[in-house]
Amino acid sequence: MRIPILAFLIASLAFTSGSSCQAQSVPSAKQLENWRKRFPDADADRDGTLTIEEASRYREKLRSGATDRRGGKSRQGAPRQFTVSPGWGRERFPEHAVCYLPPQDIKAVFQQTIGGKQPAVVSYEKPDDGALRIVGTGHSFMAPGYRTFPVICKAAGMDQPLYTHTGGGITGSTRYKWEQENGIFDFEGRPQPKLLASIANAKWDAMMWGPYFNDRPVYYSCWIDFCLKYNPHMKFYLSDAWPQLYQLGTNPESESFFTAEIFDRLGAERRAEYVQQVEVLRKQYPDKVFIMPTSDAMVLAAKSYLKGELPGVEGIHRVIGGKERSLWRDQLGHIGPGFDRLEGYVFYATLYGRSPELIEDQIAFGGDDAFPGPKLDRKFREIAWQAVIGHPLSGVEDRDGDRVDDSRGR
């Protein structure tokens, strides 16, 4: 029995808050071959064809992966090595790419794709409360911030317009979403222009992305070029994620391994990686591209934990120390309970150039009222602002210490 392996793998890796526009149609032989090349180990008998049994075993391998020190399963499923279409090295995308169509035709393509189940174009009037109209892509590392960012903005007096096309792991990367929306390469002939339709037919102020392994500047410049064609004043923000265990090679035996120096080293590696990407883009697009320093924020949080300054947090990494309330919760590096607030505060501070410490109203995050408590929440706000003003590519400076970007004022 054969299955559409592309749809199978997407469904396996997608996360619950992802787009409803995941690939569901049967891919062509060419597309199946592309995915077999990307996941060669799935073809266990090496006969060049994927069966349901082989695909199931491979999916379980991705999902189970290594075990943590408590015998539980570590979250897996984000490949760090994979092939991409050689088309990314060419000067122009295939002529049938949706991005080359007129706005009304892009809308019509997406309208046909969704069959009237949702609006083909999402748009917002210019907010009078100072909010930016934002589109975004991303994966499960962006999901915590995408959840809390609008809630934080609401407490700051803004109704945040935010329209996203997300996926799990590689399916939320900017490269993947560009192929998916345009109907090119691995999505040959099956375009799903969720964001392209709205970008081309409505007004937007900013775009946000999550990074992925082996990113190239071109994976972002394609989005930038398209956005600026229809919204010349847009700005662009890349989260730089945070340190992950794979940077160490092997997991340490205990949390005593982690010191301030270790976190500084891991953070410096992560910063260098994404500064290199963004510097290329900033030369192409001056004053347009910025980093949301979630990595620096998590490094500062880890160092604060070592000093006993994160009340209620019990450990550094659940995979190593086994504590539920840890900064990180699994092998891949998803953040622990409560730290979705920290990521949301970083998004807010970078986009709006104001410290979340200045928000006076209570923020209705929901969930456990006891954790994070008020003291930890205040610490998250402080850390977020220090991370943002401390990063040279955030676009935010606070030399006078009033916790507002110097170029914006109160």
pLDDT digits (tens, 9 = 90+) for 75-107: 444 678 889 999 999 999 999 999 999 999 999
Instruction: Please give the distance of CA 312 from its chain centroid, rounded to a whole number.
Output: 27
Which stretches of 120-261 are assigned E, i.e. beta strand?
A: 134-138, 162-166, 206-209, 235-239
| Residue 220: closest CA among 138, 155, 281 | 281
Instruction: Please give the distance of CA 327 from its chain centroid, rounded to a whole number.
Output: 18
pLDDT digits (tens, 9 = 90+) for 242-288: 999 999 999 999 999 999 999 999 999 999 999 999 999 999 999 99
Across residues 326-334, what is the average pLDDT? 96
Across residues 300-327, what is the average pLDDT? 98
Tokens of 171: 């399916």
* Structural domains of the chain ordered from first start: 5-77+94-390 (3.40.50.1110)
What is the helix (H) or strand (E) element at residue 380, kind and residue range? helix 374-390
Tokens of 238: 């890349």
Torsion of CA 170, 171, 176, 179, to 10 degrees: 160
Across residues 325-349, what is the average pLDDT? 97
If DSSP codes are grouped into helix, strand and coil, which group holds residue 42? helix
Quote the mean pLDDT of the chain. 87
Sign of CA dihedral 315, 316, 321, 324: positive
Q: In this structure, what DSSP letter does residue 315 have?
A: E
